[in-house]
């Protein structure tokens, strides 16, 4: 009677959102092995409450035990989903990826957990400057595009990793992939992707395409953006190369006014343009300046 009472008491505590008390009640009820159904349900509730309380390591341990002890449970699908997410929440990305890849089938929730785990593993590798492996992890994340937020992030950081490795042609489609979904998923990535895409084209000497992206970056970014003055300077360069000298002059002057760290370069370029203009002027007595 005591074990059954503990089980029903656990259910009542759950209805009242008193989960720590429910945890204690189910922990007691699950010890009654004479009733397999009671033990199974109480064990499941105990593990799930651990998960709900944010005790990721304990939840992982309990879910793993549940799968081993009750492999034919009707809740097996839910447990696998929760276990997948628990691995991610515990920052155990390697185990999450390994576990999910071992499953014969994946629900949408498990697919999302895989997408998140591989993305976060990619950022971990990126921060360790292991860019090649980071890209591989981002690519695995992009293979399960359940959540557009992670699609945008994985695409952008893939572009950044390729750019660091000077693989600009590979970086471009990733930046473009981020731009395609950033407005809907993460608007904060828009200016970053434009800036990265501008540099990718710039380094490939495709100045017309670089110009478009730097112009959009400058238009959409506040002057307080740490990359703003550099974007203005690169925009001026693109105008200069494409012979739009008036626009180049305006943007070199703007870079100087912004106290760009490369203001000396902006002064030099401005001087080159002004000197070139002066040399094209012919005085009335046919002397050239």
CA distance 265 to 73: 70
| Per-residue pLDDT, 284 | 44
* pLDDT exceeds 90 at position 33: no
CA distance 10 to 162: 53
CA distances from 111 to 97, 114, 162, 248, 261 (A): 10, 5, 26, 49, 46
Q: What percent of the chain clears pLDDT 90, i.e. is strictly above it? A: 86
| Per-residue pLDDT, 287 | 34
Report the SS3 class of residue 54.
coil
| Per-residue pLDDT, 255 | 93
Cβ within 8 Å of residue 102, ≥6 positions away: none
Report the SS3 class of residue 10.
helix
Residue range 125-154, pLDDT digits in tens: 999 999 999 999 999 999 999 999 999 999
CA distance 217 to 222: 9
Quote the pTM value: 0.85
Domains of the chain (ranges; CATH) run 1-90 (1.25.40.10), 108-189 (1.25.40.10), 205-258 (1.25.40)
CA distance 237 to 249: 10
Mean pLDDT of 209-222: 96
Residue range 12-27, pLDDT digits in tens: 999 999 999 999 999 9
Can you name the residues that pair with 282 across neighbouring β-strands? 288
pLDDT, mean over the chain: 92
Alpha-helix runs per DSSP H in the chain: 2-15, 19-29, 36-52, 56-69, 76-89, 93-102, 108-127, 131-142, 148-164, 168-185, 189-203, 207-220, 228-241, 245-257, 263-279
């Amino acid at each position: 009677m005591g074990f059954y009472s503990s089980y029903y008491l656990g259910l009542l505590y759950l209805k009242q959102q008193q989960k720590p008390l429910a945890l204690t009640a189910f922990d007691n009820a699950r010890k009654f092995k004479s009733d397999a159904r009671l033990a199974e349900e109480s064990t499941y509730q105990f593990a799930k409450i651990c998960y709900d309380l944010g005790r990721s390591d304990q939840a992982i341990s309990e879910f793993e035990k549940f799968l081993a002890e009750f492999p034919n449970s009707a809740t097996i699908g839910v447990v696998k989903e929760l276990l997948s997410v628990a691995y991610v929440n515990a920052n155990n990305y390697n185990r999450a990826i390994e576990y999910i890849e071992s499953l014969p089938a994946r629900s949408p929730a498990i697919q999302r957990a895989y997408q998140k785990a591989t993305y976060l593993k990619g950022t971990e590798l990126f921060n360790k400057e292991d860019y090649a492996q980071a890209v591989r992890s981002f690519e695995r994340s992009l293979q399960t595009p359940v959540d557009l937020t992670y699609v945008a992030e994985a695409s952008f950081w893939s572009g950044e990793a390729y750019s660091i490795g000077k693989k600009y042609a590979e970086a471009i489609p990733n930046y473009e992939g981020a731009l395609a979904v950033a407005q809907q998923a993460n608007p904060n990535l828009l200016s970053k992707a434009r800036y990265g895409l501008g540099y990718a084209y710039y380094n490939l000497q495709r100045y017309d395409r670089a110009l478009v992206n730097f112009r959009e970056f400058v238009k959409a970014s506040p002057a307080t953006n740490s990359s703003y003055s550099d974007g203005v300077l690169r925009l001026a360069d693109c105008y200069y190369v494409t012979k739009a000298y008036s626009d180049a002059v305006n943007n070199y002057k703007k870079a100087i006014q912004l106290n760009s760290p490369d203001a000396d370069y902006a002064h030099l370029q401005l001087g080159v343009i002004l000197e070139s203009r002066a040399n094209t002027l012919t005085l009335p007595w046919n002397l050239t300046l």
